[in-house]
Structure 1
Amino acid sequence: MSYADLSQARLYYVIDGPADAPVLVLSNSLGTCADMWARQVPELSKHFRVLRYDTRGHGKSSIPDGEYRFEQLAGDVAELLDGLGIARAHFCGLSMGGPTGIALALARPELVDGLILCNTAARIGSAEGWTTRINAVAEQTLERMAPALVERWLTDGYRAAEPGLSQVLVDMLRRTSDAGYSRNCAALRDADYRDRVAAIRARTLVISSTHDLAATPAQGRELAAAIPGARYVELDTSHISNWERPEEFNRAVLGFLLAQ
């Protein structure tokens, strides 16, 4: 296993693909880990050196004390890239990974080539909603909440057709630390990039999902409209679009990144 000891956290990471290929960083959603990208790696690693990592508070990465901010989460990525000697990379983040990419593109624009923001928004949810979620985790634990949360991640049709793959996500969420989850919820509670995304200069693709209640298509179109030159794609999925329609997701990502 590979770990990077950073100034504020210890990140688990894994790399697939040719050593001389352009780097593509994949950033996980709230409550998952690097494994959520398993259905992308075989195809994307044909063209890119795919760098996946567990966001702090998730998976095998450390769980630093205190509430987190996206400036810290983006700083973790910047330190990881610097430590690996990567001067520039594409970045793809889903849900919580989206604001991480936004914060990185704003703070360290020299690091980001193509930026892909999936099932996300410049402002995800409300402060009240995230406070309620934090309190619910404290009272109920993710172990008990996981099945209901995953129901919002996937369409009813997918869960009926693929119960085993749906269960993989339930179990991934169950293995997430309650403390790590809640500290990342605090980052989502406090983050609002609506007034700042127009300053992004990276080539950007926004991917939304027709049935996504957590980050709606309207929010995705708003995000794409606010970023100069951004493209927009909408998939017939719910929140974890890369898991539900991996082939379509992969085509969208590759079509964008390989079009120079």
Structure 2
Amino acid sequence: MSARSADGARLHVEVHGPERAPAVVLAHGWTCSTAFWAAQIRELAAEHRVIAYDQRGHGRTPASPACSTDALADDLEAVLTATLAPGEQAVVAGHSMGGMTVMAAAGRPAFRAHVAAVLLCSTGSSRLVAESTVLPLRPGRLRSRLTGRVLGSRAPLGPITPLARRILRYATMGPASAPDMVEACARIVHSCPRAVRHAWSRVLDGLDLDHGLAELRVPVEIVVGGADRLTPPVHARSIAAALPNCLGVTELPGVGHMTPVEAPDLVTGRIRSLAAARIPAVPAVEESA
């Protein structure tokens, strides 16, 4: 199915699982797609209605000239409105740019009406380039400038070669990531058009959502990889300190940025627990006599 955002942009949306089951909404990150959530969709869809969508220009959602945090918030609102009944609530899980989408939308009416709890995975609210440790240099202007150029490069990623896999693992995953996990992430990231990758990198470079954290009033859990070079744990701790209702931060030793892929059971378990604790039970439909 699809949802129409505020500016008319069409968003690819997938819905898995029983119609009246507790709802879970999954928002993926920069250069990814709904395929990034394959493990969560597979495990949760038996007892949950799992809603996943492609961000603008990613996966099967067409590219749009509107690349901004406001557009991200518009899109999440559109997905919530299109897939949830009036008064129905869901748990929203956001990874990386998907987590930033949640923060950007926190004050929106549809978000407040439909979101019961949030799981933030490997994300940040500001200073993404300054805090990134992808380049092994001392913190400062030089590292920030070079990091911005690397992440914002217009160069094509090219075919998935052994070197490309090693680079992807170093930059985005923990050192012990299994080869099949690296391969899955490489296929997803390399399929993102370079123009889309560059356009959204500029949004992330200037990201500042600190002011909106106070609007994220629902219960929030945070998961971060201890070896995350793109959004290191300093971001998780900063977000947790600013949230009105943070349930806790889980730091995973040796895990990188791709937490839903690298630690699928833990991420799935946290989503399942939030849904069980925070989504009101749906009354059973009475059979006619």
Gaps of 5+ in 2: 131-143, 279-289
* Mapping 1:9-28, distance limit 5 Å: 9-28=9-28
**Change over 3 Å in CA distance of 1:84–1:199 after alignment to 2:** closer
Q: Higher mean Cα deviation, 183-192 or 168-177? A: 183-192
Q: Secondary structure at the match of 1:47?
A: coil
Q: Distance in 1 between matches of 2:98 and 2:225?
A: 16
TM-score in terms of structure 1 length: 0.88
The one-letter amino acid paired with 2:157 is: L
**Cα shift readout 1:165-192 (whole Å, capped 9, x = no counterpart):** 3112112111111111122212212221
Q: Which residue of 2 aligns with 1:190?
A: 206
SS of match in other structure, 1:39: helix
Alpha-carbon separation, structure 2, partners of 1:143 and 1:156: 23
1:3 is aligned to 2:31 = no
Change (3 A) 1:86 1:62: farther
1:116-166 deviation per Cα after TM superposition (whole angstroms, max 9, x unaligned):
111011115138557424652x2x2132696423432211211xxx21331
- What secondary structure is seen at the aligned counterpart in 2 of 1:157? coil
CA distance in 1, matches of 2:215, 2:152: 34
**Following TM superposition, by how much is the alpha carbon of 1:233 offset from its aligned partner in structure 2, in angstroms?**
1.7
Match 1:181 to one of 161, 173, 197: 197
Change (3 A) 1:23 1:234: same
Q: Secondary structure at the match of 1:202?
A: coil
Q: Which residue of 2 aligns with 1:258?
A: 276
The alpha carbon displacement at 1:81 in A equals 2.3
Q: Which residue of 2 aligns with 1:132?
A: 149
Whether 1:112 aligns to 2:76 is no
Equivalent residues, number: 253
CA distance in 2: counterparts of 1:211 and 1:134, whole angstroms: 18
* Equivalent residue, structure 2, for 1:70: 69
Q: Is the 8 A contact 1:58 1:176 kept in 2?
A: yes
How far apart are the structure 2 equivalents of 1:202 and 1:104? 12
Matches within 5 A, 1:228-247: 228-231=244-247, 232-236=249-253, 237-247=255-265
1:158-237 matches, within 5 Å, as: 158=177, 162-231=178-247, 232-236=249-253, 237=255
* Preserved CA contact (<8 Å) 2:84 2:114: no
Amino acid at match of 1:204: V
**Counterpart AA for 1:60:** R
* 2-structure distance, mates of 1:90, 1:210: 24
The CA distance in 1 between the partners of 2:272 and 2:127, in whole Å, is 26
Cα-to-partner distance string for 1:4-57 (whole Å, 9 max, x where unaligned): 343342211111111001221101111110000001112222332110111001
Name the counterpart of 2:126: 123
- Residue equivalent to 2:157: 142
- Residue identity matched to 1:132: R
Specify the alignment match of 2:286 in structure 1.
none
Q: Which has the larger radius of gyration?
A: 2
Cα separation, 2, equivalents of 1:110 and 1:150: 39
Tell me the secondary structure at the aligned position of residue 26 of structure 2: strand
CA contact (8 A) 1:208 1:234 kept: yes
Q: RMSD in angstroms over aligned alpha carbons?
A: 2.2
Gaps (5+ residues) in structure 1? Answer: none
8 A contact 2:152–2:197 mirrored in 1: no
Q: Secondary structure at the match of 2:211?
A: coil
TM-score (normalised: structure 2): 0.80
* Structure 1: distance between partners of 2:46 and 2:243: 29
Write the distance in 1 (CA, Å) between the matches of 2:207 and 2:234: 19
Structure 1 equivalent of residue 285 of structure 2: none
Counterpart amino acid of residue 48 in structure 2? F
Cα separation, partners in 2 of 1:200 and 1:96, compared to 1, 3 Å:
same
Distance in 2 separating the partners of 1:150 and 1:176 = 17
Aligned residue identity for 1:235: L
Counterparts in 2 of 1:120 and 1:257: CA distance versus 1, 3 Å: same
Percent of aligned positions that are identical: 25
Q: Contact (CA 8 Å) 1:209, 1:234: kept in 2 or not?
A: yes
